[in-house]
Amino acid sequence: MYKRTPFSLAILSLILLSQLAACASSQPNLTEGETTTNASDETTTVAEETSEYVSPGVDYEGETFTIAAMDLDMVYAVTNYTMISHDEETGDVINDAIVQMTRKVEEDLNVNLELYPLTNDDRASIDKVTRFIYAGEDEIQATFPYTVALKNYLGTPSLLLDLNSIPTLDLSHSWWDQSSIEAYNIGGKQYTAVGDICFFAKCAPIVNFFNKQLLEEYSLDDPYEMVFDGTWTIDKMIELGRAAANDVNGNSTVDLEDTFGCIAESTSLGYFFTGAGIDWSTRNGDEIKITVYNEKSMDIADMLVPFFRDKTVTMLPNDYTGYTDVFQELFLPQFMANRSLFFSNQLLLALDFREMEADFGVLPLPKYDENQENYRSTTNDHWLDHMVVPATNARLELTGHVLDAMGYYSQQLVTPAFIETTVLDKTLRDENSEAIIEMIYDTQVYDIALAFNWGGLTGIVGNMINNNTTNFSSLYASSESAILAAMDKTMEELLDT
């Protein structure tokens, strides 16, 4: 998620094996008194201050700092956690890391962190928080909307504080993702940022899970080798996926007893665009151009739409009705029962796959071709959370101290617990996936066109899968004026503030 910043490097210092040891030199050094415990003992790293973070030496006398964030949901394994917690330590490494982070921040600053609970649906909206803002009430000091809701905050900049106006907040620190800061800076104003403090951002990257048992059964080439030698491309993924698709019961009918090549969704095409080097927009200062429509993206659509819409090869939500949640009720069980080679979805599913008997691995989104220099990653807009501060927040000194402290202790405690102990040691089970997870976080792409989704741009791309068409030229041409008008309106409002 973080482009060559210590978010991913902090992970490296704990998890990468000898072949990645050279990266460890980029880590903040531990001070005397800092101790860690073995992750296999189901305990959590305990961190003291590094040279980068120094407790500000303030005493807020128990003042309450309220954060609007997701409450326990229990739908997916990752939603068993909240971003702050006063619960007891239980031996669950993520829970214990969050409890320790909360305690450390409260002790450092003598504050009381309080959660204003939001449901999953609330985080896709802004209504629960903006009712306080419109009433002029300083009830919420910070909140963490999904990308899909972010545009509703950013589109009305009077709702938010420019983070640059908070004197005690230092966004240059390693626990803030500098790529997000660059992408979301408009007219010199910074209304949002992503960092270690954003709990669900850790699990939002889109990856390709693959079933190792099926790979062996069908004697398929090792995709890990392809990733590391730079040959993991869209063509290779399609080749492997088609090779794994099989009419297992021999009834010449597509049914749930068959083996599929891939599980995907309509948004997958947009994810693969980004992975294959397509920039949805480009910027020159505050001048933005929509660049997703080009010869390359049309070629990618020509490759992937037939693959995704072949019902003998790919499982799509559109093709399976009668489920309340097709992912929970059908797709996860299918993959865990070794009935699909690939599952293209967000990293958070690794926590659900802990119950899977067969081994599985994780791959980045494939390149367009072998000439593409780097792999690139993107996120699900219903999981990537962003930090914003309501305009009604009048306690700026307190706010900066709390947010930086939470960012630092999340970097030192929560991020390693999530990545090293749960996702890697307990789930992915192999050193190749460790290196690839680091790569995925390290190559995170933020794009302002995706954040605002001007003119329903992402839906236009997704509809190529929904409607089984590769005619991107016609679809884009019919919407271009609406896309550009929406973009111009947004930029005018933001630059006039």
Same fold, 6-202+382-428 and 206-376+446-495: yes
Helix (H, G, I), strand (E, B) or coil at 345: strand
Is residue 441 a contact partner of residue 198, using CB atoms and an 8 Å limit? no
Mean pLDDT of 459-476: 96
Question: pLDDT tens digit string along 69-112?
Answer: 988 876 778 888 999 999 999 999 999 999 999 999 999 999 99
Angle 268-274-278 from CA coordinates, rounded to 5°: 130
Q: 206-211 and 63-70: which strand pairing?
A: unpaired
Which DSSP category does 113 fall into?
Answer: E
**pLDDT value for 430:** 73
Give me the architecture of the 206-376+446-495 domain, per CATH.
3-Layer(aba) Sandwich (3.40)
The fold of the 6-202+382-428 domain, in CATH, is D-Maltodextrin-Binding Protein; domain 2 (3.40.190)
Question: pLDDT tens digit string along 176-207?
Answer: 999 999 999 999 999 999 999 999 999 999 99
Structure tokens at 449: 């066109």
Is residue 46 a contact partner of residue 35, using CB atoms and an 8 Å limit? yes
Mean pLDDT of 384-404: 98
Q: Which residues contact 24 (CB under 8 A, 6 or more apart)?
A: 9, 12, 13, 16
DSSP states of 406-445: HHHHIIIIIHHIIIIIIIIIIII-SHHHHHHHHHHHHTB-
Q: Which residue has the tokens 């297992």?
A: 248
Integer distance in angstroms from the first to the last C-alpha of the chain?
30
- pLDDT confidence tier of residue 429, bands split at 50, 70 and 90: low
Percent helix, strand and coil across the chain, each to the nearest 5: 45, 15, 40
Mean pLDDT of 113-142: 92
User: What residues does each domain of the chain span?
Assistant: 6-202+382-428, 206-376+446-495
Is residue 365 a contact partner of residue 206, using CB atoms and an 8 Å limit? yes
Question: pLDDT tens digit string along 283-327?
Answer: 999 999 999 999 999 999 999 999 999 999 999 999 999 999 999
Q: Which residues contact 292 (CB under 8 A, 6 or more apart)?
A: 273, 278, 279, 280, 281, 449, 457, 461
Is residue 115 a contact partner of residue 71, using CB atoms and an 8 Å limit? yes
Lowest mean pLDDT among 66-80, 265-279, 359-373, 383-397: 66-80
Mean pLDDT of 10-18: 36
Q: Please give the helix or strand (H or E) that residue 304 lies within, else none.
A: helix 295-309
Please give the model's pTM, rounded to 2 decimal places: 0.87
